[in-house]
Amino acid sequence: MGTINKGILGGFSGKVGSVIGSSWKGIQVMRSLPTASKRKKSSKSIEHQAHFKKVIDVISKGGVIFKQGFAPMAKGQTAFNAAFSRNFSVFSMKSGKLDIAYDKFALSNGSLGNLKNFKATVNDLGTLSLDWNPTNVERFDNRDLMVQCLVATDDFESVMCYLNVDLVSAHHCGVELLDEMKGKVLHVYVFYSLPGVFRADAISDSSYCKVVV
């Protein structure tokens, strides 16, 4: 049963017949009830659903790091949706197999330049070392800029996020890997930001490095 919120001409919430009323980001919206399709799904439809599901799964695993990295795009949409839209084309299904353009995947969408000459290596103890060239951002005190990092195994099966791992001015930091990541090919993404500030001019683009152990 639906409930009228602001008089007869206002929005409503709940179910009225085959229509559901709700509010999204302060906007009154209506949608129809989903109906089950009796048509047999084509192979292309199945691949598209698997593609869609995979991207949602990856962004969900990253969680809060995407919320920060794509905060500048969260206007009329959530940061999650912005990250999904930006990275959807990075994933594709070919003959039932997942294909990922890892170097095109984006962890953030800021206007600051990315970390220069970023590289990642794993030592004998299983610690991931991150190195980059000095980055000077004149409008901010470099002592306040922090590095954010996401590490994933092939197909993004295992994902680990590291928030505020170190200062940009440090030029180097190390993070501990999950046991399940050790000895595997790793895909490492980093960006830097001013913690607590979600403007595009306080967030950098992301950098990528593949680590083959």
Is 73 inside a domain boundary?
yes
Average pLDDT over the chain reads 84
Q: What is the mean pLDDT of residues 65-83?
A: 90
pTM > 0.75: yes or no: yes
Mind listing the pLDDT tens digit for each residue in 166-212? 988 888 999 999 999 999 999 999 999 988 888 888 899 999 999 99
Is 97 inside a domain boundary?
yes
Is 20 inside a domain boundary?
no
Distance (Å, whole) CA 25 – CA 75:
10
Is 10 inside a domain boundary?
no
Mind listing the pLDDT tens digit for each residue in 89-123? 999 887 778 899 999 999 999 888 888 899 999 98
Is 123 inside a domain boundary?
yes
Q: Which of 15, 11, 4 is closest to 28 using CA atoms?
A: 11
CATH number for the domain spanning 47: value is: 2.60.40.10
Is 36 inside a domain boundary?
no
CA atoms within a 13 Å half-sphere pointing along the CA-CB vector of 87: 31
Angle CA(169)–CA(204)–CA(129) in degrees, nearest 5? 50
* pLDDT for the residue 101: 96
* pLDDT for the residue 13: 65
Q: Which structural domain, as residue segments, surrounds residue 142?
A: 43-211
Distance (Å, whole) CA 87 – CA 66:
11
Distance (Å, whole) CA 168 – CA 132:
9
Q: Does the pLDDT value for residue 24 go beyond 90?
A: no
* pLDDT for the residue 184: 94
Q: How confident is the model at residue 164 (pLDDT cuts 50, 70, 90)?
A: very high
Is 7 inside a domain boundary?
no
* pLDDT for the residue 198: 81
Contact 149, 162 (CB under 8 A): yes
Which of left, alpha, beta for 59 (phi over 0: left; psi -120 to 50: alpha)?
alpha
Is 19 inside a domain boundary?
no
Q: Which of 135, 181, 133, 175 is closest to 156 using CA atoms?
A: 181
In angstroms, the Cα distances linking 110 to 147, 151, 197, 201 are: 13, 20, 12, 6
Q: How confident is the model at residue 57 (pLDDT cuts 50, 70, 90)?
A: very high
* pLDDT for the residue 158: 95
Q: Can you tell me which residue has the tokens 């002592």? A: 143
Distance (Å, whole) CA 117 – CA 207:
9
Domain count, the chain: 1
Question: In a 10 Å sphere around its CB, with 0-12 CB exposed, 13-18 middle and 19+ buried, how is residue 76 labelled?
Answer: exposed
